[in-house]
Structure 1
Amino acid sequence: MKLREDYFLGYQKRWIEDGARLKIMEKSRQIGLTHAAAFSAVRRVIEKGARLDIWVSSRDEPLARLFLEDCKAWAQLLDVVAHDLGEIIFDREKKFSAYVLEFATKLRIYSLSSNPNALAGKRGHVILDEFALHGDQRMLYRIAKPVTTWGGQLEIISTHRGVGTVFNGIIHDIHHRGNPMGWSHHKVTLQEAIEQGVVERINGKTGEAESREGYLARVRAECLDEEQWLQEYCCVPADESSVFIGYDLIDACEDDCLKDFEYLRKCENPLYLGFDVGRKRDLSVIDVGEKVGDVMWDRMRIELAGKTFSEQEAELYRLLELPKLKRACIDATGLGMQLAERAKYRFGWKVEAVTFTGHVKEELAYNLRMAFEDRRVRITRDPLLRADLRGIKKEVTTSGNIRFIGESADSHCDRFWAKALRQEAAKPRRGVSASVLMESGEIVHYGDR
């Protein structure tokens, strides 16, 4: 069947026409690859001499249904008879089922969710859609590959989901180990898809008239951080091993916990403050936490982008005046030095100026991570905060020193450092006189130090 040029973009056409026994695609999100794969599936089951069914394994049930809807749309466009058999249970004991489309050739397209065992004992072509997102990729591949033994084709289509996936392992072997399995490798980033016309296709569906440059800039701006942009749209897997605070730690400590100023004014528990002072285009972030027992709860975060020195000082002072605000650690690096000095002159023991050196940042970062590991923090559910917490990376320099770097979409992980300073403020203070501790209200803990 000859492909009409106006139906498919270049990368879609190359994928459809690739008849390799094993083929794999690492791709950007939302570039129409699954739509093209659905056409390829329909074409194979209606071709003269076709003899094999097609088994499609998607990440979940909704995606399985969507794939079959794409197949139905292509069958209608190609004017071929296709019967939607709905959901068919083919193993009642194990409750395995699939959405099925049957053609005049009596061949079928089976669209399943992700249970690897559902493919056991089958025969035909196999499409593994969004493979890197499957729960057990290794088992899925082990069961899927024998399905193609009698002349079937195995297709893997996916965006990346970190460097530790089986999917990325296959890509690594293709590039660095001479492709021992013999994959036909395809790769399409968002930039490449745009250059081949995907924006015009999207405009045709939405009725918009967005330019290629405008679309690319908008998609990138809508990413929470550079990691999301690189992984989801540029085919660069995220290196989870370099992430300092992982999703598992963040998820376990999230809650709806922010309060207003009136709550802080009436609060009975001790409050602690961290202030990361922005330089030039960086955010200035004030983070206030309430310590309930041994757990620090997020209560207020004030972000001061583009604010004057006096405006930032005013926000800080109204918080330092709170009766239960026990201690504040303020970033005294660069522009923060004057702000910290003035605050300390006015509020005395409440304020500690912290100069960011490599050693200090290492201590702050590990103290914050330890609080996550011990579940001694509760943080607000906020994608910008998550992006900053995830954005911090630990690197080891050539001289063996540890340094922390990081950027998110709108900051240099300033929310991370404000929270780290807040946790530092809540640490027991050594070498401080009993009179100061009594004045600050910390004398009740003095015997523990």
Structure 2
Amino acid sequence: MSLPLVLDSTATLLAPAVLLDYQKEWIGIRAPLKVGEKSRRIGLTWAEAADNVLVAASEKSAGGQTVYYLGYNQDMTVEYIQACAMWARAYNYAAEQIEEGIWPDSDPDKHIKTYTIVFPSGHRIVALTSRPSNLRGRQGVVVIDEAAFHADLAELLKAAMALLIWGGEVHVISTHDGTENAFNDLVNEIRAGKRNGEVFRCTFGEAVADGLYKRVCLRKGIEYRLEDEIAWVNGVYGFYGDAADEELDCVPSQGGGAFLSMALVEQRSSRDVPVLRLAYPQGYETLPEPLRLAESLEWCEEHLKPLLAAIPLDVQSYYGMDFARSGDLSVIWPLLKEQNLRKRTPFVVELRNVPFKQQRQIKFYIIDRLPNFLKGADDARGNGSQLSEETAIEYGFNRIERVMLTEGWYRDNMPPFKAALEDDTFYDIPADKDVVSDVRAFRMVKGVARIPEKRTNEKGEKSGPKRHGDAGIAAVLADYASRQDVEIFEYHRVQPATQHDREIKLGAGWRSQKGIW
């Protein structure tokens, strides 16, 4: 049987590690609020029970607290408390047997059934079968399991958060139940920076990669074989069918609409922000390079120089760039962070069919003149990788972020962008039909806001130049750049020391020889 084995210092063969890596990672997150976005049946609650027993069994001086577990039905509550009892025995902790009890509810005609384990530390693990309105006023750790399926998660979270004031913790664990669910809202709020907390994510595939099927084999007492694992995984996905994305891959269902509303984008738009468009005809790249570079420089001097000169010198500057050579657009989106931390757009540049060297020339022309330039973010996929690398070499790899626009990147960075628009900290989007359409081009695809594959035509024309959300991607990249930490190097001129200063520094016993030291 192929199992992950642990060796002690004398190379004695020991049992497999009790917890798998993703379970250890979940337990290792120590934060007042942590949220587990997970697949079905990967044993995250089982790992949580292991940690809860250690917390409840510890003395107060060692960080021990009472743990309150809230499941949305009685079966899962019983399963959890039995897991806690198992862990207590495994740790060889003295603990009372599981006690069943009743808590009064705010509704006098209802009662809440409880299961309790009491430890010699004086702390308890209390498992509840339904939402207790009297959770308020208590202290300790609250575990909300399968949170997306609780009747009123928003109100439950309000009550639970009060425990944080006195040093408690709130652990929220769940699979998804749609994009409009309060659990999905909580995950996105944390990712957007609107709420403090840590998000942990583990799909079924990631759990299998960490050894989930091998653990199944261990429990069943059967030999592990790779072909059996593949068949088992396929069988699980086949069982869930169309629901597999949500149940196994942490993708909330019922999504597919526009990520940003027209009303929101229009509220943040301004007619005073220009869009500079430069387009060259097919075959332009065959002209002599000096002629092309001279024409581009002339365009920069005429159109960009006045706008760059008008930018105040007391702002911090960033940019985002979505790159394309032919077909789609290259878009450069400068962003200025003001004293009050609001971020505004001075102008946007769109380049169509502009040769590589001229794109480099125009991009560097802008960056060289952005006051207090701190950070840029480039679309580094495909042909964009070369220009992004050249920019990083010119301005520093610490200042130029080379971004691969993956699903994970969109998942982490679209919520903060939306939050910035909602909070009015990202504003002055050009009031331009094509730019606004690009910013609104993000769609919910498998629960993640991203640009779909379908392209659109400019200005609503049935044929003609295509767009692919290019300005929207540049805007998100600019916002991303503005949220990154930047190393700032400062240089201060040192005045040359005088002869008198040198004599003082050298001290007694040293003398100059003809003024040379």
User: Partners of 1:103 and 1:171 in 2: how far apart?
Assistant: 33
Q: 2:238 aligns with which of 197, 221, 227?
A: 221
Structure 1 position 96, deviation (Å): 2.6
Aligned counterpart for 2:25 among listed residues 14, 26, 39:
14
Alpha-carbon contact 2:55-2:64 (below 8 Å) kept: no
Where does residue 143 of structure 1 map in the other structure?
159
- Superposition map of 1:407-418 within 5 A: none
| Aligned length in residues | 240
TM-score (norm 1): 0.50
Secondary structure of the corresponding residue to residue 84 of structure 1: coil
* Among 175, 180, 193, the residue aligned to 1:164: 180
User: What is the aligned counterpart of 1:53 among 66, 72, 86?
Assistant: 66
- Superposition deviation, residue 167 in structure 1: 0.7
- Give 2:43's aligned residue: 32
Letter of the aligned partner of 1:53 in structure 2?
A: T
- Alpha-carbon offset, residue 97 of structure 1: 3.2
Secondary structure of the equivalent of 1:88? strand
Post-superposition Cα deviations, 1:67-88, rounded to whole Å, max 9, x if no partner, equal: 1000000000110011124212
Aligned to 1:63: 76
Structure 1 position 212 matched with structure 2 position 223 = no
- Pairing partner for 1:88 from 96, 101, 111: 101
- Output the CA distance in 2 between the equivalents of 1:20 and 1:70: 23
Q: Structure 2 length normalisation: TM-score?
A: 0.44
Q: 1:108 aligns with which of 121, 124, 134?
A: 124
Structure with the greater alpha carbon radius of gyration: 2
Structure 1 counterpart of 2:26, which letter?
Answer: W
Q: Contact 2:58–2:64 at 8 Å: present in 1 too? A: no
AA partner of residue 104 (structure 2): D
2:115 matched to 1:99?
yes
Which runs of 5 or more residues in structure 1 are unaligned?
243-394, 401-449
2:245 equivalent among 224, 227, 230: 230
> What is the CA RMSD across the aligned residues, in angstroms?
2.3
Q: 1: distance between equivalents of 2:204 and 2:163?
A: 32
Q: Distance in 1 between matches of 2:44 and 2:20?
A: 10
In 2: Cα distance, 1:73 partner to 1:37 partner: 13
Residue aligned with 1:149, SS? helix
Contact 2:112–2:130 under 8 Å retained in 1 = no
Q: What residue identity is the alignment partner of 1:73? A: M
2-structure distance, mates of 1:24, 1:5: 27
The 1:61/1:148 distance shift into structure 2, 3 A limit, reads farther
Q: Does the CA-based 8 Å contact 2:112-2:132 persist in structure 1?
A: no
Any stretches of 5+ residues in structure 2 without a counterpart?
1-14, 258-451, 461-517
The Cα offsets for residues 201-240 of structure 1, whole Å up to 9 and x where unpaired, read as 11111234463322211111222x32x1100000000016
Query: Does the 8 Å contact 1:116/1:143 carry over to 2?
Result: no
String of CA shifts for 1:144-193, please: whole Å, max 9, x gaps.
11133211111000000000111101222233x2x221211110001100
Matched residue SS, 1:203? helix
> For residues 16 and 194 of structure 2, what CA distance do their matches in structure 1 show?
34
- 2:91 maps to which residue? 78
Report if the CA contact (8 A) 1:96-1:118 is conserved: no
Pair 1:123 & 2:139 matched: yes
Q: Give runs of ≥4 in structure 1 deviating > 6 Å.
A: 397-400
Report percent identity of matched pairs.
Answer: 29
Tell me the distance in 2 between the aligned counterparts of 1:5 and 1:126. Answer: 30
Q: Assess if the C-alpha contact under 8 Å between 2:148 and 2:181 holds in 1.
A: yes
Contact 1:116 1:139 in 2 (8 A): no
